[in-house]
Structure 1
Amino acid sequence: MKKIAVVAAAAVVAFPAAAHAQAYVQVQAGLDSVSVEGESEEGVAYGGAIGYDFALTDNWFVGVEGSIDDSTTKACVSDVLSIDDEVCVKTGRDLAVVGRIGTKLGEASQIYVLGGYTNARIKATYDDGVDSFSEGDNGDGFRLGAGYRLNFSENMFGKLEYRYSNYESDFSRHNALVAVGMSF
C-alpha cells in the first residue's frame, strides 16, 4: 500500500507540464462515522487536500489527491474497573493518497469516483483519577468514494464527497464531506 503512495506522489511531480493539467488545494469538513467491531460513533471530520487532475479527453479526466484529516469522533465509558475511572477511544489523524477518474457534466461541473490507500490513527486512554495512560495505533487500509465538483469561477470550486475507508482489525469509517478550494 505504501508503494501506491510513492507512485502517486511521483506522478504529481513527474507530469506538471501535461496539457490541461490542473493543480488544486481544498479544505473540507463533514460527518465522520467510525465503526470498530460493530459499534459506531459519529463526529465531525475536518482537514485539507492537494491534488492534480489530468485531462484524458475533452470530457474525461484522471487525478491524484493527497489528504490529511482529523476528527472529533470519540467514545468514553466510565466506571470500567473502579469508581471514577474512564476509558476513551478517539480517532486521530487520517492520511490518504487516492486516484480519481471522472467526467464533466457540463462546463462547470464534474462527477468522479476515487480509490486508494489510507492510514488512520486511533488512541485509547485510561484515567482513574490518580493515574492515566494512553496508547495509540495506526491502521492501514483502502478508501473508496465518489464526488461532485462545481466550479464557482475559473479558480474557485466546491465539492460534495462520500468516502468509505476500511482499516485493519474491523475498523472502518464513512465520511460525507463538503469542500471548497482553489485551482491553479
Structure 2
Amino acid sequence: MRYALMAALIGSSAFAAAPAVAQTASPTFTGPHVGVIAGYDALRPGSTQDMPGVDQTSDGFQYGVEGGYDVAVGPRAIVGLEGEVSDSTANTDPYDGNAQFGYGNVQAGRDLYAGVRAGYLVSPRTMIYAKGGYTNARLDLTTDNNQRVNDEHFNLDGYRVGAGVEHAIGTNAYAKIEYRYSNYGDARLEYNDGTNTNNFSVDTDRHQVVAGVGFRF
C-alpha cells in the first residue's frame, strides 16, 4: 500500500497548487473523464528470475475501464489522478514449459490501478504524459485445461509507470495510446475459504501497450 500512499500525497500536492492557475491552460484536457482501454498484455519473470534465451512470457489481450480527474497547473501543464479496472486473457500453457514464469498454471485475473499522471500540451489538442502509481493484480490458479480452480489465486502488489499520447476529438471525446510497465514485488496465495499465506517476495514484470477512448464532462 505504500505506492498508493505516495500517489495520494503527490496528487494532493498537485491539486493544492492548481486553483490559482487552473484557467491558464486549455479546458480540453481538464475535468473528470471516463473511458475504456484495450491492448496487449505480457507477464514474465523479472530480471532476478529470468532465464536468458528462454521465452517465459505469458501474453494475451487486455481490456478494462478507466477514469480520473485532471487540472491545469500552467499554460501547457496538466496533472491528475486516475484509476483503472481491467482483465486479461493472458495465461500459461500447461503443455509448454517455456511459458511458465514461477506460479504454475495460472490465468491473469482482474488488475486494479490507482495513480497520478503529469501531461504537457504539445498542441491545443494533443498531450503527452507520464504516469505512475500502485497496482494490485490477481493470477488465478488453473487446471491443465485452463479452467479456474475454485477462486484460488495469487494476489500481487507492485508499482506501475508509463507514458502516452492523448488527442482530443471534438468537444468532449478523446483517444490515447500508452505503454505501461509494472513490477510486482509482493505476493500471497489466497484460498477459496478466505485464508491465505503470508506475503512472500516475487519479481514479476508486466508490459502493456493499450489504446483507449473516452469522454470528458
Common fold by TM > 0.5: yes
More off after superposition, 118-127 vs 104-113:
118-127
Instruction: Tell me the CA shift for residue 102 of structure 1.
Output: 1.2
Q: Structure 2 residue aligned with 1:68, among 65, 70, 85? A: 85
Match of residue 40 from structure 1: 57
Residue 3 of structure 1 corresponds to 5
TM-score, normalised with respect to structure 1: 0.83
- Structure 2 CA distance for partners of 1:79 and 1:104, relative to 1, 3 Å: closer
Q: Gaps spanning 5+ residues in structure 1: where? A: 81-86
Q: 3-state DSSP class of the match of 1:122?
A: strand
1:56 to 39, 56, 73: 73
Relative to its length, the structure with more helix (as a share) is 2
117, 121, 124: which one pairs with 2:134?
117
CA offsets, 1:81-134, max 9 Å, x none? Answer: xxxxxx631111110111111100111100000111111111122359xxx666
User: Shift of residue 3 of structure 1?
Assistant: 2.7
Distance 1:54 1:9, change over 3 A: closer
Note closer, same or farther for the CA distance 1:58–1:121 as it changes in structure 2 (3 Å cut). Answer: same
Identify if the C-alpha distance between structure 1 residues 137 and 8 changes in structure 2 by more than 3 Å, giving closer, same or farther: farther
Cα RMSD (Å) of the superposition? 2.7
Contact 1:125–1:134 under 8 Å retained in 2: no
Q: Counterparts of 2:96 and 2:162 in 1: how far apart (Å)?
A: 39
Change (3 A) 1:101 1:125: same
Q: Percent identity?
A: 37
Aligned match of 2:33 in 2, 8, 24? 24
Change (3 A) 1:9 1:68: farther
Secondary structure at the aligned position of 1:74 is classed as: coil
* C-alpha deviation, 1:170, in angstroms: 1.6
Paired with 2:113 and 2:177, the residues of 1 have a C-alpha distance of 17
Structure 1 Cα separation of the partners of residues 62 and 171 of structure 2? 28
> Are residues 123 and 117 of structure 1, via their aligned partners in 2, closer, same or farther at CA, if it must alter by over 3 Å?
same
Aligned-partner Cα distance in 2 for 1:99–1:140: 17
Name which of structure 1's ranges 62-71 and 34-43 shifts more when overlaid on structure 2: 34-43
Q: SS of 2:5's equivalent?
A: helix
- Distance in 2, matches of 1:45 and 1:107, equals 30
- Output the CA distance in 2 between the equivalents of 1:41 and 1:152: 34
Unaligned stretches of 5+ in structure 2?
A: 24-29, 51-55, 98-103, 186-201
Q: Which range is displaced more, 142-151 or 3-12?
A: 3-12
Match of 2:209 among 159, 166, 176: 176
Say whether 1:88 aligns with 2:105. yes
